[in-house]
Amino acid sequence: MNVIIYGSKYGAARKYAKRLGELTNIEIKNFKYVQNINIYETIIYIGALYAVGVLGLEKTFKKIKDINRKKIIIATVGLSDPNNLENIKNIHLGIQKQISEELFESAHFYHLRGGIDYKNLSLKHKIMMKLLYLKAKKTPKSERSPETNDFVNTYNTKVDFIDYKNLRPIIQELYKE
């Protein structure tokens, strides 16, 4: 039995989970409603990235008793470029704080780009983004990364990087023996 579990606050991770579920005919569940994770053989977790890690990841996988003979796929969804090796390194460092070493070593990781609509952010997230923006804006243009420039240029707008074709490698992983 397989399951897609997602942790989403603003919707991008939920959209990816829903589309993956449609493509694979696998049941999807919000992490808040997973009763018994141990009944599944394959667990695909799609979670939104935040400064403290992946939403719901720790809560979901602390319930797992035995990862042997289970396939675990973890896909993160964030604003940062998932092709940037430094970003991936930082994401993995955050994940390692949320799950056991054994689970981290056996899981397959994928990173997807989400989106942001500033008008829908909570006050806390609006403040965090404003502080990041002010810091980024102070950085001289010549010292900014392309990603930082994109952030400054799109601050306080709606940005959507969701691209369902990036689910293909997850589907391929799912059906690997």
pLDDT of residue 81: 84
- Buried (b) or exposed (e) across 3-40, using 16+ Cβ within 10 A? bbbbbbbbbbbbbbbbbbbeebebebbebeebeebeeb
User: For residues 175 and 55, what is the distance between their CA atoms, to the nearest angstrom?
Assistant: 26
Q: Give residue-wise pLDDT tens across range 62-111.
A: 989 888 889 999 999 998 888 888 888 989 999 999 999 999 999 999 99
Question: Which phi and psi angles does 121 have, rounded to 5°?
Answer: -70, 150
Question: Which phi and psi angles does 140 have, rounded to 5°?
Answer: -55, 140
Q: Give residue-wise pLDDT tens across range 3-33.
A: 999 999 889 999 999 999 999 999 999 999 9
Q: Give residue-wise pLDDT tens across range 83-96.
A: 888 888 989 999 99
